[in-house]
Structure 1
């Protein structure tokens, strides 16, 4: 702490205690030192508030208290310090508004209030601070328009207002600030047109307007900023063409125009930017061929043209830009071979050609370049991998996914000792996984899914102790899962699905899956997936599965597993999806009683599970969204706590031995009814009748309860299900009047009432004479048959589109993006796609 005895130094004029570990508030005795001219207390851990007694220090010319923990409002008395020239209090916790009394500090030439919690607007009296050279209000919560009065500060050289919540646009008179060298307006929520007058800032060196909502063009007047070296306009919602006048800004070294809506080609006038080092236009709508004049950029180091509509060949002269280190051309329509294209880029460190139409072989000269990142994925490269490609001494990441590569993975892969990430999925490579892969000690990710690899998983692979993600899915691998998988203690994602692996699941499978997070965000995003689905695995699910403490998705469907579901699954408190369908499991549905708060998807269909569905299932799975228990041997009644779960989206209990009534009467709160969209309870022994409570399930799109023993008349409330698309009530014992109200549901495309004691069989009966009174069919007057046929045609077209989309998605997800968390089963993918999953934080609360 600063001692109170400091106040005894009555003649003290200069006090500098910066860069210490001082704590506590500023001592009150400090305000008695009326001779003080300078107080410098920044970079400490001071707390408390700034006292109004600061007004006693009338001789003060400098006050720097930045980078502390001082809080509270700024005392208006600061405005009485009329000799103050330097005032800095950035990176504290001040709140409230900026006092209007600051307008009295007319000698001030430096004011830094950034990185606090200041609110309100910028006071108009700021125009009185005519001597200001630096003004920084960035990283607060200021609102309102940027006052036009700020443009009266003609001497200002640096203006930083970024990271606030202003409204309106840039003041039109901004061009009057002739001495301004740095203007930072990043992420200010600014909108409207960028004023033409901005071209009047002839002294400007740095301009940052990124992260705003202009929805306007970049004015051609920016070409008048001849001293500008940095222009950052990323994510500014700019439209139109890139102004050719930018070519007049000869001193530009950094130009960032990414994530806007620029159209047209890159103007040829930019060839004159001979000092440009960083050029970035990623994620726009630019088109045309890549210009040959890039070779004239003798100083360029970084070029990003990704995610646009550029087409044609990469100019063979591009490597005449001798200093080029990073070239990103991903997601365009570029084509041609790269046989010699980049051979002369001797300084190239990062090359991204992902998502184009390049073809031919992958050249071996790439190994001679100093590349650390090489991404050739999603192209049409063919042929075998050249063995020399794996002799690079610098490569850290190599992505060859989704091409048409053939042949074996060469043994020379073991020479890539620095390699950290290897992705070669969704190709046509065959043969065994080479043992030499075990020499890649720095490897954190390997993805070989979607090939034709055969043989067993080599033991040497588990020497890669740093592996975080391992994907060998969709190959022809055989043999057991080695117990030495326990050596992969950093593993958080394992996908071995769609192979021919046999034997039991080793208890050591959870040697990894223990790290809650990983330092790299990409691994955090994909961690917690264990997918062994669609193999020939047998035996029991090991109780040691409880050791996979970070497991979020467990996919074991499509195997030969037997025994009961282990109670230890209930101990995995991060589980979101469990798919054990299409095995030979027996026993109860959930052999645990404690609530599993995070579980949202449970798939147990096509097993031999039996017994009752627990009456308290709603308490055990309080946030469940999808449940598929079909084709088992469950009996007794359908629990009300399941059907009435407010989070439940899809429920399939078809092909079981359930009996009793369907519990439609739920204890709903009026403001929170059912979210159930899909309900299938067909082919059971359900009895009783349907009543008006069915209207509480207002989100239902598909209702299938055919092949049961339901009786009674159909409730009129069925016609209130306005989203209903599919209805099957056939093979029951319903009786009574015809459900003509169903014909008025706009969304309905299929209905089956056959095998009951009512006069309707399907939707075609809506138009049949003598079945439904004409005045009961409200939306089909005049042309009932035409309307029905049109609806059926539209539905059929939609179904075809969905099938095509799902087929394409399956091809991509299995072959090109096998590390994704979507369930492997197509049907269950469709089920999950309709979910609005609940954030884990909300469930834990």
Structure 2
């Protein structure tokens, strides 16, 4: 609609939207200079240019220009300053950009200037305000204006409404105009001040009370500090106070006591302390929002007797005490949010009186008892959140009468019994009369309870459900096919139950699904190939079921998928190479299945992968590790243990600069440990145990840190971390040679036990039954990485001591007389989990004979072996001071030899 007014006669011109305004069309109305005094344009969509409105036409008599609510773009032309008769200029709600022209300050007769809801930038200058003596309304809110508020704003003495919120203004209020009260004190007619969503700092000064006509002040979302001045209520007319999202502190014990007309008080997200004062119940409050502060104590009983209160929210505080039965008195209440406090006791049945209640959230408290069935009388409820409490009993069937319910959260309680399945009307009403209070549309969350029985087929009729979460209960039976009819479903979480049967193939039609979680159930059968058609799917979790078959090739079409967890099932076959097409994949978990074959093809085209976690462990994968694994530059977790990989570890894995966890234990890998892997700076866990690796362990990075590397079971490895010089690779049955023996980098020294000492044992055939005469000793048995030889005090300090050397020698003696490894699965149930713990347990029970290696035990050797055990026990004392010296140990062994 386009209106022109000339000499008191209004002429309407109807135009469709959008429309182009050619100069010929406008010239029909503006061809005579000075004719028009009024122009109002609405629902137009074209570019605002200088030539169109300012240069071509003379509008010198124009008093009102309103172009609000269009889609005009571009800058405000400076020629607008020629419209000197303008009293109202409204360019709000367009897409104007650039700075506000200084020429706008020439419009000395302006009474209303509205530039709000655009994309204007730059700062407000002094010239904008010097001559605006008649301005009553200034609105530049919701733009991108920045800088300080100019002192010239003090000259707007006729101002009644100021809206500069939602910009990027910063700093303190202008010192030239004094504190805020002096500034607005000059505007004795001002009614509204909106300064929200800027970067204003400092305190709210008490002189704000000078604004005697003030009825609405909004200073939210700034950086204001200090206490709220009680002088704010000097203005009897004040009705709305919004101070949310600042750093205001102190109490409000008498701050708003004199605000007798206050209807809205919003103090959300500050640092206010103390209790909620009783006097608030005497005010005509309709909205009381105290969320995210540090309020303590009980909620005033008198507040529940309010006859005006419609919204009361005090979530995220430290409130305590019970909910009284008087809660049923505040029948005007539409929104009650008290989540994340310390409320206790039961939910009173009187709450059923609140028939206007739309939102009830008591989440994260300590409420107990049953859920009152009277809640079913609150037929206006759109959101009901009682999650994270201690509520028990059954879910009331009366909930089925809540026709407007759009959000139901009962998660993390102790509810039992079945999910009510009587015919219900909730989650079916697509639109409700007033949905402004609905917190989360379509959430149905009963997770983490003790619910039993089957999933009702009727849930498939709740067409409004978006997130259906009933995980971690005791539900049984099959997954209802009816759930696939929920066309708005984006999340389905049935994990952690006792569900059986197959995954319904019909879920392939749930095209809006973003998260499908069916893990930790007893599902059988194969994975439906149709799931590969869920183009919006982000997370798929089928872990810990009894699924069989292979991974559908169609999964390669899941372009949005970030997490795929198929672990702990009975899946088999090869991993389809199409998985490498899932370019957004972050986590792939297929461990503990029966997958086989090689994985070369999977990573050939993986350069685009952003994968961070890859777990292929505990399968039957074979072949060499692909060098292309080194292309996965985002990888932080790589677990390939428990397979049949062979060949060398690719040095290209040294490219994985983000890698933190790497496990290839229990494979058939051979060759050297790549030096580049040891140099990875983020790697904190490296497990290479139980392979066929050989050669020197690199002397750098994690490979020299006993607490982070595991290399047991690689008999051909050597190096300082193992205590073995790579030039001395074995010792025979007649000599123990420990040359430059290092425990975690601590040099113990050189000890040569000659044939004389060794024969003290060999005389009776005491030798390791694990070693033949011509066999090399398995150096990994001396691998300090297993901690089998390390004295307990080294856990507190790695400082080498001679008493620590004695402890390690005692372990070797036990190996010889028991025929057992220093660590291993034989000791998993033993305190300490090692040979020392097992021997100590037997020895203390007087069962020393059970310790001895039966392969070499004889009547002749028994006593000598028991004496060696006694020496070893002395060497292994937890108190280093009680251990014998090495000289005393050698003397004792010689004595055994000479007997």
TM-score w.r.t. length of structure 2: 0.71
> How far apart are 1:499 and its partner, in Å?
1.1
Tell me the equivalent position of 2:542: 629
Greater displacement, 148-157 / 428-437: 148-157
Residue from 622, 635, 648 that aligns with 1:711: 622
> How far apart are 1:487 and its partner, in Å?
1.4
Name the CA distance, whole Å, in 2 between partners of 1:336 and 1:497: 35
Tell me the equivalent position of 2:162: 231
TM-score w.r.t. length of structure 1: 0.75
Tell me the equivalent position of 2:225: 311
Tell me the equivalent position of 1:483: 397
Whether contact under 8 Å (1:612, 1:634) holds in the other structure is: yes
> How far apart are 1:137 and its partner, in Å?
3.6
Tell me the equivalent position of 1:678: 587
Tell me the equivalent position of 2:50: 122
Residue from 433, 438, 460 that aligns with 2:347: 433
Name the CA distance, whole Å, in 1 between partners of 2:645 and 2:141: 65
Whether contact under 8 Å (1:497, 1:531) holds in the other structure is: yes
* Residues 508/761 of structure 1: CA separation in 2 closer, same or farther (3 Å cut): farther
Greater displacement, 581-590 / 322-331: 322-331
* Residues 103/710 of structure 1: CA separation in 2 closer, same or farther (3 Å cut): farther
Name the CA distance, whole Å, in 2 between partners of 1:553 and 1:762: 49
1:664 equivalenced with 2:664 (yes/no):
no
* Residues 151/341 of structure 1: CA separation in 2 closer, same or farther (3 Å cut): closer
Residue from 274, 290, 293 that aligns with 2:204: 290
> How far apart are 1:321 and its partner, in Å?
2.7
Name the CA distance, whole Å, in 1 between partners of 2:616 and 2:671: 17
Name the CA distance, whole Å, in 2 between partners of 1:502 and 1:624: 32
Whether contact under 8 Å (1:555, 1:580) holds in the other structure is: yes
> How far apart are 1:330 and its partner, in Å?
2.6
Residue from 294, 302, 314 that aligns with 1:400: 314
Tell me the equivalent position of 1:180: 110
1:65 equivalenced with 2:12 (yes/no):
yes
Tell me the equivalent position of 1:517: 431
Whether contact under 8 Å (2:359, 2:437) holds in the other structure is: no
- Cα shift readout 1:236-289 (whole Å, capped 9, x = no counterpart): 433344335667xxxxxxxxxxxxxxxxx7465444443332223223333344
Whether contact under 8 Å (2:38, 2:63) holds in the other structure is: yes
1:604 equivalenced with 2:518 (yes/no):
yes
> How far apart are 1:71 and its partner, in Å?
7.1
* Residues 573/234 of structure 1: CA separation in 2 closer, same or farther (3 Å cut): same
Task: Please say which structure displays the higher CA radius of gyration.
Answer: 2
* Residues 358/71 of structure 1: CA separation in 2 closer, same or farther (3 Å cut): closer
Residue from 27, 37, 40 that aligns with 1:109: 37
Whether contact under 8 Å (2:181, 2:207) holds in the other structure is: no
1:756 equivalenced with 2:672 (yes/no):
no
- Cα shift readout 1:642-690 (whole Å, capped 9, x = no counterpart): 254212110001111110000014695xxxx621111000011000101
Tell me the equivalent position of 2:605: 696
Name the CA distance, whole Å, in 2 between partners of 1:287 and 1:61: 49
Structure with the greater relative contact order (CA < 8 A, sep ≥ 6): 1 or 2?
1
Whether contact under 8 Å (2:185, 2:208) holds in the other structure is: yes
* Residues 760/754 of structure 1: CA separation in 2 closer, same or farther (3 Å cut): farther
Name the CA distance, whole Å, in 2 between partners of 1:356 and 1:63: 52
Tell me the equivalent position of 2:146: 215
Name the CA distance, whole Å, in 2 between partners of 1:738 and 1:529: 48
Name the CA distance, whole Å, in 2 between partners of 1:153 and 1:470: 56
Name the CA distance, whole Å, in 2 between partners of 1:522 and 1:759: 65
1:149 equivalenced with 2:149 (yes/no):
no
Name the CA distance, whole Å, in 2 between partners of 1:382 and 1:627: 43
- Cα shift readout 1:157-209 (whole Å, capped 9, x = no counterpart): 33333344444322233333333333333344333343432234334413333
SS for the counterpart of 1:518 is coil
Residue from 729, 733, 750 that aligns with 2:640: 729
Name the CA distance, whole Å, in 1 between partners of 2:17 and 2:340: 57
- Cα shift readout 1:371-410 (whole Å, capped 9, x = no counterpart): 1111223233333333322111111111122222222211
What is the CA RMSD across the aligned residues, in angstroms? 3.3
- Cα shift readout 1:337-371 (whole Å, capped 9, x = no counterpart): 43333333221111223333333333332222111
Name the CA distance, whole Å, in 2 between partners of 1:200 and 1:318: 29
* Residues 429/764 of structure 1: CA separation in 2 closer, same or farther (3 Å cut): farther
* Residues 349/193 of structure 1: CA separation in 2 closer, same or farther (3 Å cut): closer
Tell me the equivalent position of 1:801: none
Name the CA distance, whole Å, in 2 between partners of 1:788 and 1:141: 67
Tell me the equivalent position of 2:173: 242
Name the CA distance, whole Å, in 1 between partners of 2:88 and 2:7: 23
Residue from 657, 668, 676 that aligns with 1:746: 657
> How far apart are 1:216 and its partner, in Å?
3.3
Tell me the equivalent position of 2:406: 492
Name the CA distance, whole Å, in 2 between partners of 1:302 and 1:735: 75
Tell me the equivalent position of 1:553: 467
Name the CA distance, whole Å, in 2 between partners of 1:337 and 1:61: 57
- Cα shift readout 1:455-490 (whole Å, capped 9, x = no counterpart): 111121211111111111112211111212111111
* Residues 290/413 of structure 1: CA separation in 2 closer, same or farther (3 Å cut): same
Tell me the equivalent position of 1:136: 66
Whether contact under 8 Å (2:172, 2:201) holds in the other structure is: no
> How far apart are 1:76 and its partner, in Å?
4.5
1:383 equivalenced with 2:297 (yes/no):
yes
* Residues 146/356 of structure 1: CA separation in 2 closer, same or farther (3 Å cut): closer
Name the CA distance, whole Å, in 2 between partners of 1:567 and 1:345: 59
Q: What residue ranges of structure 2 are gaps of 5+ in the alignment?
A: 681-686, 689-697, 710-899
* Residues 484/110 of structure 1: CA separation in 2 closer, same or farther (3 Å cut): closer
Tell me the equivalent position of 1:808: none
Name the CA distance, whole Å, in 2 between partners of 1:68 and 1:366: 52
SS for the counterpart of 2:668 is coil
Name the CA distance, whole Å, in 2 between partners of 1:340 and 1:167: 45
> How far apart are 1:535 and its partner, in Å?
0.7
Whether contact under 8 Å (2:18, 2:43) holds in the other structure is: no
Whether contact under 8 Å (2:285, 2:308) holds in the other structure is: yes
* Residues 228/322 of structure 1: CA separation in 2 closer, same or farther (3 Å cut): closer
1:196 equivalenced with 2:147 (yes/no):
no
Whether contact under 8 Å (1:126, 1:150) holds in the other structure is: no
Tell me the equivalent position of 1:460: 374
- Cα shift readout 1:779-831 (whole Å, capped 9, x = no counterpart): xxx99628999xx99xxxxxxxxxxxxxxxxxxxxxxxxxxxxxxxxxxxxxx
Name the CA distance, whole Å, in 1 between partners of 2:228 and 2:107: 43
1:543 equivalenced with 2:457 (yes/no):
yes
Whether contact under 8 Å (1:382, 1:405) holds in the other structure is: yes
Name the CA distance, whole Å, in 1 between partners of 2:128 and 2:418: 70
Residue from 240, 250, 255 that aligns with 1:326: 240
Name the CA distance, whole Å, in 1 between partners of 2:703 and 2:210: 65
Name the CA distance, whole Å, in 1 between partners of 2:118 and 2:251: 44
> How far apart are 1:551 and its partner, in Å?
0.3
> How far apart are 1:741 and its partner, in Å?
0.3
SS for the counterpart of 2:524 is strand
Whether contact under 8 Å (2:60, 2:84) holds in the other structure is: yes
SS for the counterpart of 1:545 is helix
Name the CA distance, whole Å, in 2 between partners of 1:337 and 1:228: 32
Whether contact under 8 Å (1:573, 1:598) holds in the other structure is: yes
SS for the counterpart of 1:758 is strand
Whether contact under 8 Å (1:134, 1:156) holds in the other structure is: yes
Name the CA distance, whole Å, in 2 between partners of 1:318 and 1:162: 30
Whether contact under 8 Å (1:754, 1:760) holds in the other structure is: no
Greater displacement, 65-74 / 366-375: 65-74
Q: What residue ranges of structure 1 are gaps of 5+ in the alignment?
A: 1-17, 19-38, 43-58, 85-101, 248-264, 773-781, 794-845
